Amino acid sequence: MADDCLFCGIVAGSIPSETIDSDERTVAFMDINPATAGHALVVPRKHSADLLDIGEEDLTAVTLAAQRLTKRMKEVLGADGINLINACGAIAWQTVFHFHIHVVPRYEDDPLKLPWIPEPGDSDEIAATAARLRGDNG
């Protein structure tokens, strides 16, 4: 448990939450600022700051818990679809630095919008970035 970590407090039960699922490695609870009805968060019990910090076993467990919730939200809430969202780093909108996956049920009439405008990219730039990511030329 990390000092002053909100989600460590929720996992420990010292900060109240609407818990909806838990297992040996994970806890899932409702987000207090829901993007849609049913918006939940899945966290590892063990503190890790973000996607770069979390261990493989916890990442696997959190992902499986998110899939479990996805099924439940479709069955119980009648969700038409689900977004899994993870923010890694403040610039990527992370505000709580205990790893979490947002499980956001989507409904045909919900107000959410894609946060970027899809436009064709420059194919040379795409290829150059791909080469850097592959590690071509050194």
- Residues catalogued as catalytic: 100
Q: Using the rule CB under 6 A, which residue among 21, 59, 96, 107 binds ligand 5GP?
A: 96
The CB-of-98 to Zn ion minimum distance in angstroms stands at 3
Q: d(Cα 74, Cα 29) in Å, to the nearest integer?
A: 17
Centre a 10 Å sphere on the Cβ of residue 97 and count the other Cβ atoms it contains. Answer: 18
The CB-of-134 to ligand 5GP minimum distance in angstroms stands at 29
Helix (H, G, I), strand (E, B), or coil: what is residue 50? coil
- For 26, half-sphere exposure in the C-beta direction (CA atoms, 13 angstrom radius) is 26
* Total number of residues that touch ligand 5GP (CB under 6 A): 13
CA angle 84, 88, 93 (to 5 degrees): 85
The CB-of-53 to Zn ion minimum distance in angstroms stands at 10
DSSP 8-state assignment for residue 73: I
DSSP 8-state assignment for residue 131: H
Residue 33 partner contact from ligand 5GP, Zn ion, none using kind-dependent CB cut-offs of 5 to 8 Å: ligand 5GP
Residue 2 partner contact from ligand 5GP, Zn ion, none using kind-dependent CB cut-offs of 5 to 8 Å: Zn ion
Contacts with ligand 5GP by CB under 6 A lie at 6, 17, 29-33, 41, 87, 93-96
